[in-house]
């Protein structure tokens, strides 16, 4: 993980992706929170390794994903290999075994862009992969359960048209994703320690809450209203059950 400027990364992404795809991109994760809370202060950084880009709506995600990937590769962004994948997949690679779209900016190994998408429906809560066939090989576009909350009424932070997810809805998505502390750990070490993914994501909830209160001591009073609105919109058949489970992992 490296210290990066949220504003600088967002500007680089906005400048690199095709103009007609910018409206399909929502920045999520720590970069989105960092930009929201201190994007106007160039001296404040976020420690991260990736810029998570949510492609939305789902019906346009595949075409937008291919267009964004092709454009970045044309601009010398580089496929980021890992222990499993040294190159992109091909037509015979099963969908759920395809490498994600992870690309480093030219000459900048400190961070990479990763493309994700929203679930196909409000009942599709499992991790899914959809194929992106590009000129250099095949990639997988991942979606899972509560990502649909991140594209609810996003914030447009720049005139370039790249949106960021609302911090309070990213917090809600993490609360719902982790109703308990599961044993799965992060793929890499954090501060030389092996960290459970649930602990990391629930820790982000606390960080977002703390940053919100620092800006406005009454900020959390507004969270229940937007949470209820988003849950009713994204999970019309199950939102009342989900409400009862919210925060179980944190507690």
* 187 and 137 in a common domain: no
- Rounded to two decimals, what is the model's pTM? 0.92
57 in any annotated domain: yes
Q: What angle do CA 94, 26, 4 make, to 5 degrees?
A: 95
Q: How far apart are CA 217 and CA 165, in angstroms?
A: 21
* 142 and 41 in a common domain: yes
> What value does the mean pLDDT take over residues 27-35?
94
The SS3 of residue 118 is coil
156 in any annotated domain: no
* 222 and 124 in a common domain: no
What is the total count of domains within the chain? Answer: 2
Confidence of residue 205 (pLDDT cuts 50, 70, 90): very high
> What value does the mean pLDDT take over residues 29-54?
92
Reply yes or no on whether the pLDDT at 1 is more than 90.
Answer: no
* 81 and 12 in a common domain: yes
111 in any annotated domain: yes
Considering the chain, what is the average pLDDT of its residues?
92
Q: How far apart are CA 225 and CA 140, in angstroms?
A: 35
154 in any annotated domain: no
Domain that includes residue 52, residue range:
2-147
Token couple for 47? 């420690």
pLDDT above 70 covers a percentage of the chain that reads 100
Q: For position 113, which CATH number holds?
A: 3.30.460
105 in any annotated domain: yes
> What value does the mean pLDDT take over residues 130-142?
95
Confidence of residue 190 (pLDDT cuts 50, 70, 90): confident
* 239 and 136 in a common domain: no
């Amino acid at each position: 993980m490296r210290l990066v400027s949220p504003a600088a990364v967002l500007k680089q992404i906005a400048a690199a992706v095709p103009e007609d795809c910018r409206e399909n991109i929502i920045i999520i994760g720590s970069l989105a929170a960092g930009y929201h809370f201190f994007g106007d202060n160039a001296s404040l950084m976020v420690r991260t390794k990736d810029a998570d880009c949510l492609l939305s709506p789902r019906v346009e995600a595949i075409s937008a994903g291919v267009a964004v990937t092709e454009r970045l590769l044309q601009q010398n962004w580089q496929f980021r290999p890992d222990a499993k994948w040294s190159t992109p997949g091909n037509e015979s690679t099963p969908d759920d075994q395809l490498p994600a779209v992870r690309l480093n900016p030219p000459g900048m190994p400190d961070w990479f862009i990763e493309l994700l998408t929203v679930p196909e429906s409000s009942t599709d809560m499992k991790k899914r992969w959809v194929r992106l066939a590009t000129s250099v090989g095949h990639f997988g576009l991942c979606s899972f359960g509560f990502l649909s909350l991140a594209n609810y009424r996003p914030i447009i932070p720049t005139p370039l048209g790249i949106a960021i997810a609302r911090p309070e809805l990213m917090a809600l998505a993490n609360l719902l994703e982790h109703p308990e502390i599961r044993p799965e750990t992060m793929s890499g070490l954090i501060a030389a320690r092996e960290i459970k993914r649930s602990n990391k994501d629930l820790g982000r909830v606390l960080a977002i809450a703390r940053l919100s209160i620092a800006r406005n001591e009454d900020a959390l009073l507004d969270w229940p209203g937007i949470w209820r609105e988003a849950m009713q919109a994204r999970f019309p058949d199950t939102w009342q059950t989900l409400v009862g489970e919210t925060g179980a992992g944190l507690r």
